[in-house]
Amino acid sequence: MSERLVIDLWSDIVCPFCYLGSRQLELALERFEHRDSLDVVYHAFELDPGATESLVSLDELLATKYSMSVERSRALHERLSHQAAELGLTWALDQARPTNTLAAHRLIALATTQGCGPAMARRLHVAYFSDGLLVSDPDTLDQLANEVGVADATSLWSTDHFVADVRGDEEAAREIGISGVPAFVVDRAFLISGAQGVEPILDVLNRAWDRR
């Protein structure tokens, strides 16, 4: 068994529960005694691989997808924004630009090879949920990569680099039985499905460490 404890996290950039879960993990790690002996590895999971840039608002998109009123959709998003605020996050879902996330996942895969996968994923979440940026646009992704300190992002867009990595992550999720995100696999032994909260995540981290 590796000396370092590994958390494998499957998520999607445009998934609100993934962002909430990632933030809950960050807060749990602040209280985890052995956080310096732990690595978080992000894995790709596209909620809608066939998605394109949406010409309608996120409220309208959700309403259409789940056959509900726009008012109901807006209320659900407001509730999520309140949950985010309780975790110290500021969301602007009325400015969110739904789109395909393959390019964003490729960028995270590149960032992971440079030791900054979590930081890149965090910046992409902020870009989508707070900044109203289009996270499928190459120029935008280049800018975000520069902010995080990820090198050679521009080279991705004229190649298929890291596409296989994204597909491999998604295949691994299917093999494990992950059908929804976020999904945290802690030390290859404990599975946390969904944004369960800071305390449940911290409890699993402690149990995983004690098991070692």
DSSP letters spanning 134-201: -TT-HHHHHHHHHHHT---GGGGGGS-TTHHHHHHHHHHHHHHT--SS-EEEETTTEEEES---HHHH
Band of the pLDDT at 212, cuts 50, 70, 90? confident
In tens, the pLDDT along 71-111 reads 999 999 999 999 999 999 999 999 999 999 999 999 999 99
**In a 3-state reduction of DSSP, which class is residue 10?**
strand
In tens, the pLDDT along 54-73 reads 888 999 999 998 999 999 99
In tens, the pLDDT along 137-192 reads 999 999 999 999 999 999 999 999 999 999 999 999 999 999 999 999 999 999 99
Q: Which CATH number fits domain 5-55+100-211: 3.40.50.620, 3.90.226.10, 3.40.605.10, 3.40.30.10?
A: 3.40.30.10
Q: Which helix (H) or strand (E) holds 119?
A: helix 117-129
pLDDT of 153 = 98
Average pLDDT over residues 202-210: 97
pTM confidence score: 0.95
